[in-house]
Structure 1
Amino acid sequence: MALVFEHLKTCCESGHLLQVFETLLRSFQITILTAYKSKFCQFIMFYACSLDPESCGKRFVSMLVNTFVSGLNPELR
């Protein structure tokens, strides 16, 4: 997990975090959000959002709100 955090920090410093974040976000939606009892993977998203709260944080919150409000995923309610 520490290696992933280091990679995200390097991506942020080099200006590629948004590209990596989009991949993380898709993976989060498909795999982590619907997983039963995930313990640590969500912290990767939280860390990425902390590196760029204006872009990544707002995008992440928007995705979560849309997912839970839309009603398209009844298993998440």
Structure 2
Amino acid sequence: MKRILLLGGVTEALAIARTLGPQHVYSLAGVGRVPTDLRCEVRVGGYGGAEGLAHYMGEQGIDLLLDATHPYA
């Protein structure tokens, strides 16, 4: 099964996160309330740019990235 990293930040991202199983990761920049009712892992904080994000994805075995951040973020 593929492992998904969901980058959140909008209401729709939280709705998607609620459908994810425990093998997936919902990532928030750290602004706002952190949901506690999700089955998936929740990660809070940045990645330090594109290289940091790529490193995290490789290190964590992430197969798919879904960017559901705010379009002007």
TM, length-normalised to structure 2: 0.30
Query: Which structure: greater strand fraction?
Result: 2
TM, length-normalised to structure 1: 0.29
Query: Which structure: greater helix fraction?
Result: 1
Q: Please tell me whether Structure 1 or Structure 2 has the larger radius of gyration of its CA atoms.
A: 1
